[in-house]
């Protein structure tokens, strides 16, 4: 919502809004943009002169006080995905979706396109370190978005090109089962496959991911005169192959095989896949440039691989993705957005491999009651890689206010000395402040809610 507000403001719209009382990085972004907003939701927040209200689909229009009042006053209303798609669908849209890695891949793609002079507009799901905000309003024809699959928002977007990072069942509050989830992606990609575009389109897919491979097979996705379809992964059959750490082999029919070395500050194999996905798209852009070089209808110069590698090397990451917050004595505090068992497993594996001499402590806050219930055993298995686990109460968000399941259901899988349930942030913080760490320790706050506050309070960061 904040990213969308920034883009609309850049296009000359006068923006104001309402927000939750919880503190997130978006508060700082709004202040920097001088966009006024009220904390808390009530009908009196509505200005007298409003042309349009844009609302997050996290809220129910039938129960939200401001949306009820807006309907009574007959003020036009549109949801976030409706407005974003209205802006996006008229441009050369690049939609980056998938269960894991889409924020980093979106930011990496957009930052590199900007560094290469392509001047894109972009909407990313977290603050991008290079911009200190989560959006960029460019003047070029390209529009990069992180396309969220929750509530099947994908159906709103009609991209020119796309990247699918992976397909791994999530959002059980909306999708009944893994097949239901898979079909949402298949329908969306199938529509993209049939769409006509002014330029040859680009489709990038994870060639190692089982569900993505199924998608490619069932839709018979392949390159044509009007489409460039590339895969990335560790398997030899992929067009962009992770052969060794930081080394990517490029193998595309009709082109000579080559290698590119990408030095990046991003750690972990999962980030190597994110780099490969972004690299595959930019190589696809080069192929399109060569395809259209003789038509003269659209100017797009090929991009040297060396420039791409240099941009990747300078990329500083995004907020809440394996982010170092600071240190206190023998404790280094990191924060990570992982809230799905697969993401937790990848993050903890990376921390363990990167800091083998340190103990690994995780303060995990589950996100949504339905996800906690659906993946209970998987959460326990993924978290088991940590030396100590602290569990915070489930963050239900605006979607789910209450349920019978609690974080204690995860704690029951572990010994009491291995895993502790804390009824509140304060209880967790008191425990950490009173604990005497005897050796080097990584303390990782993890989850999609507000559990990150514990780490910052432990470091006495406001």
State the DSSP string of 329-363: TTEEEEEE---SHHHHHHHHHHHHHH-TTSEEEEE
The stretch 214-229 carries a mean pLDDT of 96
Q: pLDDT band at 452, cuts 50/70/90?
A: very high
Average pLDDT for 277-286: 95
| Separation CA 220–CA 373 (nearest Å) | 36
Judge whether 394 and 372 are in contact, CB under 8 Å: yes
Residues shown for the chain: 462
| Superfamily, domain 89-314 | Mur-like, catalytic domain (3.40.1190.10)
pLDDT digits (tens, 9 = 90+) for 324-368: 999 999 999 999 999 999 999 999 999 999 999 999 999 999 999
The class of domain 2-79 in CATH terms is alpha beta
CATH homologous superfamily of 323-458 equals: Mur ligase, C-terminal domain (3.90.190.20)
pLDDT at 299: 73
Average pLDDT over residues 114-138: 90
Q: Helix or strand or coil: residue 248?
A: strand
Whether residue 284 has pLDDT greater than 90: yes
pLDDT in tens, 24-81: 778 888 888 899 999 999 999 988 789 999 999 988 888 999 999 999 999 999 999 9
Question: Average pLDDT of the chain?
Answer: 92
**Residue 265 pLDDT > 70:** yes
Average pLDDT over residues 250-272: 87
pLDDT for 297: 62
Domain locations in the chain as residue ranges = 2-79, 89-314, 323-458
- What pLDDT is attached to residue 32? 87
List all residues 6 or more positions away from 241 whose beta carbon is below 8 Å from its beta carbon. 232, 233, 234, 235, 248, 249, 250, 251, 276
At residue 192, the 3 state secondary structure works out as: helix
State residue 434 phi and psi, 5-degree precision. Answer: -90, -10
How does residue 7 score in pLDDT terms, banded at 50, 70 and 90?
very high
Interval 377-404 mean pLDDT: 90
CA distance 333 to 343: 18
pLDDT in tens, 347-359: 999 999 999 999 9
Res 295 pLDDT > 60: no
What is the per-residue pLDDT for 292? 81
Locate 100 and state its tokens.
């894991």
At residue 304, the pLDDT reads 85
- DSSP state, 448? S
- The model's pLDDT over 196-209, given as tens digits with 9 standing for 90+, comes to 988 999 999 999 99
CB 324 within 8 A of CB 334: yes
| pLDDT(296) > 70 | no
pLDDT at 294 over 60: no
Pairing of strands 121-128, 53-55: unpaired
Cβ count near 87 (within 10 Å):
17
Q: Which residue has the tokens 């009196």?
A: 44
Q: Residue 450: which pLDDT band, with cuts at 50, 70 and 90? A: very high
Alpha-carbon gap, residue 75 to 91, rounded angstroms: 28
Dihedral pair phi/psi, residue 17, rounded to 5°: -170, 180
Measure the CA–CA gap between 280 and 44, rounded to whole angstroms.
Answer: 49
b/e string for 182-208 if b means 16 or more Cβ within 10 A? bebbbebbeebbeeebebbbbbbbbbb
pLDDT at 153: 94
Tell me if the pTM is above 0.85: yes
Burial pattern 345-368, b for ≥16 Cβ within 10 A else e, equals bbbbebbeeebeebbbbbbbbbbb
């Amino acid at each position: 919502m904040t990213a969308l507000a920034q883009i609309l403001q850049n296009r000359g719209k006068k923006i104001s809004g309402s927000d939750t009382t919880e503190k997130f990085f978006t508060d700082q972004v709004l202040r920097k943009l001088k966009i006024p907003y009220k904390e808390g939701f009530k009908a009196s927040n509505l200005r007298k002169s409003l042309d349009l209200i844009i609302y997050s689909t996290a809220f129910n229009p039938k129960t939200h006080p401001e949306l009820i009042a807006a309907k009574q006053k007959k003020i036009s209303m549109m949801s976030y995905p409706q407005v974003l798609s209205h802006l996006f669908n008229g441009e050369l849209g690049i939609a980056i979706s998938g269960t894991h890695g889409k924020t980093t891949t979106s930011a990496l793609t957009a930052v590199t396109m900007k560094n290469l002079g392509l001047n894109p507009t972009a909407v990313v799901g977290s603050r991008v370190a290079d911009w200190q905000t989560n959006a960029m309003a460019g003047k070029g024809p390209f529009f990069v978005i992180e396309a969220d699959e929750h509530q099947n928002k994908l159906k709103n977007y009609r991209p020119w090109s796309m990247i699918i990072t992976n397909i791994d069942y999530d959002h059980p509050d909306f999708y009944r089962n893994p097949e239901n989830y898979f079909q949402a992606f298949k329908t969306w990609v199938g529509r993209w496959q049939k769409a006509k575009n002014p330029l040859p389109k680009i489709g990038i897919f994870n060639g190692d991911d089982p569900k993505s491979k199924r998608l490619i097979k069932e839709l018979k996705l392949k390159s044509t005169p009007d489409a460039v379809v590339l895969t990335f992964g560790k398997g030899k059959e992929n067009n962009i192959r992770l052969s060794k750490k930081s080394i990517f082999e490029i193998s595309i029919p009709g082109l000579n095989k080559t290698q590119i070395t990408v030095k990046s500050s991003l750690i972990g194999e999962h980030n190597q896949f994110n780099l490969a996905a972004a690299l595959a798209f930019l190589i696809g852009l080069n192929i399109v440039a060569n395809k259209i070089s003789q038509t003269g209808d659209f100017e797009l110069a090929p991009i040297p691989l060396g420039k791409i590698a240099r941009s990747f090397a300078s990329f500083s990451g995004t907020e809440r993705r394996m982010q170092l917050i600071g240190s206190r004595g023998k404790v280094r505090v990191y924060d990570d957005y992982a809230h799905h068992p697969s993401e937790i497993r990848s993050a903890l594996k990376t921390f363990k491999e990167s800091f083998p001499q340190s103990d690994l402590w995780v303060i995990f806050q589950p996100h949504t009651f339905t996800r906690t219930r659906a993946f209970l055993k998987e959460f326990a298995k993924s978290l088991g890689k940590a030396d100590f686990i602290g569990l915070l109460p489930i963050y239900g968000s605006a979607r789910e206010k209450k349920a019978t399941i609690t974080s204690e259901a995860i704690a029951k899988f572990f010994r009491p000395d291995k895993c502790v349930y804390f009824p509140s942030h304060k209880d967790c913080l008191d425990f950490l402040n009173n604990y005497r760490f005897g050796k080097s320790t990584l303390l990782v706050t993890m989850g999609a809610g507000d559990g990150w506050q514990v780490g910052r309070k432990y470091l006495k960061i406001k």
